[in-house]
Amino acid sequence: MFASVIVDIPSKSVNQVFDYRIPSGMEGLIRIGHRVLVPFGPRTIQGYVMSLNETTDFDPTRIKEIARTLDIEPVLTEEMITIAMYLADYYVDQYISVIETILPAALKANYKKVLRLADSHTAEAEQVLSSISGGAEAETKRLEPDALEALSPYLKSGDIQEETVITQHTKRKMALAVYSLKQADVDLSRAKKQQELYDVISAASDPIFVRDLVNDGFSNALINALHKKGLIAKVEAEMERDPYSDRVFTSDSPKVLNSEQQHAYGRITSAMDEHEAKTFLLHGITGSGKTEVYLQVIQKALDEGKTAIMLVPEIALTPQMVNRFKRRFGDDVAVLHSGLSHGEKYDEWRKIKEGRARVSVGARSSIFAPFENVGAIIVDEEHETTYKQSDRPMYHATEVAKFRSRYHNCPLILGTATPSLETFARSERGVYERLELTMRAGTKVLPEISIVDMSEEHRMGNTSIISGTLEAGIRERIEKGEQTVLLLNRRGYSNFQICQSCGYVPMCPNCDISLTYHKANQSLMCHYCGYESAVHRTCDNCQSDEVTFRGTGTEKVEEILRDMFDTEVVRMDNDTTRRKGMHEKLLDHFEQEEIPILLGTQMIAKGLDYPKVTLVGVLNADTMLNLPDFRANEKTYQLLTQVSGRAGRHELSGEVIFQTYNPTHYAIQLAKENDYRSFYDKEMAFRRLARYSPYYFHVLFTVSSEDIRKCLKATTHIHDTLVQEVSDQSIIVGPSPSPLERINRQYRFQIMLKYKREPELLKMLNTLDEHYHEAYRTEGISLRIDVDPLVIM
């Protein structure tokens, strides 16, 4: 029996399966999806079994044997193997890279080389190794040159051998526990505390962790006393890392659906009954009760013995969504997102793999939750660009969701108030079935929206970032004990530092972008490569002391708000949410302490639902309009509509204020009117004229190198290849410098391919990828191929 294995080497030259013989003692034990250790050249590495075969196309006598398996149960299902192969081919990537994306990081292999005594070794070799390492082995990379020199003769003689040790990145967490030996005639009447402890341990069906007993008031001395008397035994037991172990969730019962919700629920569950792999666009205005439809669809799946996957676009939304799902489904819910530690994600993943959880809630990567028999897949806020991974493999979670929907013959629900143009266009053509929710749940109505022209404010003498209208609105909410949400999609204190004498602006030495001033740590920072430098009070160019700061970020606005309203402000941006759990802590602080103002970047624009939020202010509605991206208008409309939906979601009525220097722009005007259909029609006319998605598919080629001449040469080569290989119906744009021409010392040039049908495209993309994979190794030229890009920066 032979196994086809993909080895753990991220290289194009080995991006294929290799056949290995299964040792006679392992036949029947090794299955598809198992992690195995295999010899590869002079070393032993981890691999994944892709298939099992009775025969091989190669000379059986030259095929090496699998060394051993690393798991009792396979870590990859056959479905996940199929997905890995599909994604690697579609997005032009390596199989091992996709497999490691699918699996939790905890399963990634750690390799280290050690020197160990051979089975037959001299006493002298043992003495020398022991004197250097203090034991029978030494890690090679930790040895000093003179130590290696001393061991060299014994390596040559074979007394000491070098071996590769492979360990898992994160292991199961073990802790000391105790259990009762169920002794008869136990008399502890003269030791009441020991009797109390013994009764607690005896009543438990499983071992109890010592740390839990200590937390309950029992000392280690008491535990040791029972152990010495032979009444209890000690054991190492697994302690599951549950990120919500300290939380109590009150039960929540299903709500009565209104007529629109009931219609949507009926159409989706009909597809479930028919086992149809149908995609639904649940197009519901903000506050229309999409989440309740999700919950009831999932309940039906669970009632039928199936599982369900729920995606949210980012971890800022996860706390409230997890709360709703835990209240409805309890321990059936597993949570998977980047805010968890490797260990927590590993344990949540194992809950799913072992069938102890039937619902997953999480961000992009949770689409790979290892469920079997999936009954429903839901992608909330489907328009969000965060569902597309920005580094390799550059998959889109919705594409994976479609694949899994077809695999399990179950419905896929794409929910949003502001569909991407591509999704809405497919619903117009009948590729997706559109379900409309046009009214807010209950008696609630959409908030009133007004636009403030900031140019007019400045002409009237108000140079603050807070307009008179917005200031009055905030003061009114503070007086009423209500809350305000303010959006500014720019973190930091000021956009840049400038010398008023010579005009010099400090730039990032690695990127073509000005440094952003952060007052909290008195530094200038680059938000692209992380470069940081101290603030200089004199100009680096002319030594003038007339340096000042221009522009406004969330840090500065927080300071302005505290001074203006003499009140506490909760600020949410990448700076304040960097530490684990801060998203949830800040939002809990805002809600439970009834802080008057929540200020944040776009992470606060969607999904949040607080009863006392009655005012939403967008401090600069133009931020995304100015991006050099054909989706800029669409992103602006979506962001404004989403953040508007945070106001007046419960009994209190809501108000929204957009501050802008472009009050007549159609994206802003139609967001004010909440008129998606008019925006769609207008934007589609532009897309048709400019020949952009959804009328064309796109591939974005980005070449980067520290040498600009190499960039120009490579992009010319790619352009010439495209001209020769694609049809005349396709459009090639570029080569041209990227909007951000240099990031992290790398010059960047790009080419955009627009096409409708190119049967040989995949073959050509793989040829280019292989060529520049080698060019990166020899010349430092990197090619990034982004299939279906969402960002062209």
Q: Which residues are annotated as a binding site?
A: 499, 502, 508, 511, 526, 529, 539, 542
Closest by Cα among 72, 78, 68, 80 to 104: 80
H helix count then E strand count, the chain: 22, 33
Report the C-alpha gap between 611 and 605 in whole angstroms.
Answer: 16
Alpha helices in 274-317 (DSSP H): 290-303
* Those residues with Cβ within 8 angstroms of residue 732's Cβ, 6 or more apart along the chain or in another chain: 719, 722, 723, 726, 751, 752, 753, 754
One DSSP character per residue, 643-695 reads HHTTSS-SSS--EEEEEES-TT-HHHHHHHHT-HHHHHHHHHHHHHHHT-TTS
- Check if the beta carbon of residue 10 is closer than 8 Å to that of residue 97: yes
Report the C-alpha gap between 490 and 600 in whole angstroms.
Answer: 9
In angstroms and rounded to an integer, the radius of gyration of the C-alpha atoms of the chain is 30
Length of the chain: 793
- What SS3 state is found at 106? helix
Task: Tell me 758's DSSP state.
Answer: -
Alpha helices in 134-258 (DSSP H): 145-157, 192-203, 210-215, 220-228
- Check if the beta carbon of residue 413 is closer than 8 Å to that of residue 346: no
Beta bridge partners of 786: 700
Report the C-alpha gap between 454 and 470 in whole angstroms.
Answer: 11
Distance linking the first and last C-alpha atoms of the chain? 50
Q: What's the token pair of residue 406?
A: 């077809």
Report the C-alpha gap between 286 and 446 in whole angstroms.
Answer: 8
Task: Tell me 593's DSSP state.
Answer: T
* Those residues with Cβ within 8 angstroms of residue 196's Cβ, 6 or more apart along the chain or in another chain: none
Closest by Cα among 561, 474, 516, 490 to 570: 561
Report the C-alpha gap between 682 and 145 in whole angstroms.
Answer: 70
Q: In what order do the strands lie in the sheet with 68-69?
A: 18-21, 2-7, 43-53, 35-40, 68-69
Residue 329: how many CB atoms within 10 A of its CB?
Answer: 20
Cis peptide before 737 (omega within 30 of 0): no
Report the C-alpha gap between 321 and 313 in whole angstroms.
Answer: 11
Report the C-alpha gap between 181 and 228 in whole angstroms.
Answer: 12
Closest by Cα among 728, 736, 691 to 712: 736
Residue 19: how many CB atoms within 10 A of its CB?
Answer: 17
One DSSP character per residue, 524-571 reads EE-TTT--EEEPPSS-TTT--S-EEEES--HHHHHHHHHHHH-S-EEE
Beta bridge partners of 718: none
Give me the torsion for CA of 463, 468, 472, 478, rounded to 10°.
Answer: -20
Closest by Cα among 186, 190, 191 to 232: 186
HSE-up (13 A, CA, CB side) for residue 677: 4
Binding residues for Zn(2+) are 499, 502, 508, 511, 526, 529, 539, 542
- Check if the beta carbon of residue 375 is closer than 8 Å to that of residue 304: yes
Report how far Cα 701 is from the mean position of its chain's Cα atoms: 23
* Those residues with Cβ within 8 angstroms of residue 628's Cβ, 6 or more apart along the chain or in another chain: 739, 792, 793
Biggest CA pair distance of the chain:
95
